[in-house]
Amino acid sequence: MTLSIETVKTHRPPRIIIYGTSGIGKSTFGAKAYKPVFIQTEDGLDAIDVPHFPLAKDHGDVMGYLRELATEEHDYHTLVIDSLDWFEKLLQAQVCAENNVKSIAEIPYGKGYEMALDLWRQYIGALNYLRNKKGMMIVQIAHAEIKRYENPETESYDRFQIKLHHKASAIMEEHADIVLFANHVVAVRKKQEGFKETTKAIGSGKRVLHTEERPAFKAKNRYGLPAEIPFSKDGSYWKELVQHIPFYKKGE
């Protein structure tokens, strides 16, 4: 019997999640990728001239658009989902409709969220098909929220994370090859005024993409990216990403 062992690396397109505060440039990040097409679950592309499907009004719309990309001939190389947290609203609405309830929380024993995970897995399967069979890079955009993190090794603290139900966030982060946290570069200045010390945050307007997890935020990558990449307005951060992602076509 011969063991079915492969030694040759297969460089498949990366699956990227980028999240951050509103207006920091997440949609622009997707628009500057190579030959992108957007599936919109929220209305926010008015200022960006980029190919996109009609605004998705329900879960079926999103899955239908993914099916079109899988079955029709096209020249798009990057799929951008904008955004994951608004898609979650559509996905949960689908669960509610199937169970004749107004809120997913009404389904006893947390079973509604388990049903939602089944739909998330179907969605992931569709993304994987586009990646593996159509050679498409996947970029998923999400908003950030601040949540209390219960660290068993230290006292609890606040940190930024993807604005999704914690079970959905876990499987989406596991599925992604890169999770980028986009944030402004902020300096803190302290000033003593008599007996009172005041703290003031000062921003330079610079932005950064974090690629590795820190206590203040979640992030990761499987490509050995620098811990921080300048999130410049000219889109040059893509050149930095290209250097470390074997699949990505050089010069595109």
Tens of pLDDT, residue by residue, the chain (252 residues): 677 776 556 678 999 999 998 889 999 999 999 999 999 999 877 778 899 999 999 999 999 999 999 999 999 999 999 999 999 999 999 999 999 999 999 999 999 999 999 999 999 999 999 999 999 999 999 999 999 888 877 888 899 999 999 999 999 999 999 999 999 986 555 665 666 665 555 556 789 999 999 999 999 999 999 999 999 988 889 988 888 887 655 444
pLDDT given at position 252: 43
Question: pTM of the entire structure?
Answer: 0.89
pLDDT given at position 250: 42
Q: What is the pLDDT of residues 178-214, one digit of tens each?
A: 999 999 986 555 665 666 665 555 556 789 999 999 9
Which CATH code of 3.30.950, 3.40.50, 2.40.50, 3.30.720 fits the domain covering 15-42+50-180+229-242? Answer: 3.40.50
Q: Where would I find the beta strands (DSSP E) of the chain?
A: 15-20, 36-40, 78-82, 137-149, 157-162, 178-193, 196-210, 220-221, 228-230
> What is the dihedral sign for C-alpha 90, 137, 223, 18?
negative
Phi and psi (nearest 5°) for 240? -65, -40
Residue 186, C-beta contacts closer than 8 angstroms, at least 6 positions apart: 201, 202, 203
The three-class DSSP label of residue 30 is: helix
CA atoms within 13 A on the CB side of 157: 11
The three-class DSSP label of residue 45 is: coil
Q: What is the pLDDT of residues 53-77, one digit of tens each?
A: 999 999 999 999 999 999 999 999 9
pLDDT given at position 251: 40
pLDDT given at position 190: 62
Tell me, what DSSP letter sits at residue 12? P
Q: Where would I find the beta strands (DSSP E) of 13-110?
A: 15-20, 36-40, 78-82
Residues paired with 103 in a beta bridge: none
pLDDT given at position 197: 62
Q: Are 213 and 161 contacting, i.e. CB atoms less than 8 angstroms apart?
A: no
